[in-house]
Amino acid sequence: AKLLATPSSNMKKTRKQYSPEQKVQILRLHLLEHQPVSELCEKHGLQPSQFYRWQSTEPKRNLS
């Protein structure tokens, strides 16, 4: 049996940092243009839980 290579312990995943403006823009695509969360997350490299966390913390007045 062949073993799959595992990443070494010193390799770190890099996380994309989103500016507040980018977050609002992504949230607006869902709320105003009705784009599915799954599509937005795939397109922008997000986990759905992160999207919903942004949605719960972003004031509604910034999204309209």
Confirm if 27 and 58 have CB atoms less than 8 A apart: yes
What's residue 28's pLDDT? 95
How large a percentage of the chain has pLDDT more than 70?
Answer: 78
Q: Is the pLDDT of residue 26 over 80?
A: yes
12: number of CA atoms within 13 Å, CB side?
3
User: What average pLDDT does the chain have?
Assistant: 85
Q: What sections of 2-64 are H helices per DSSP? A: 20-31, 37-44, 48-57
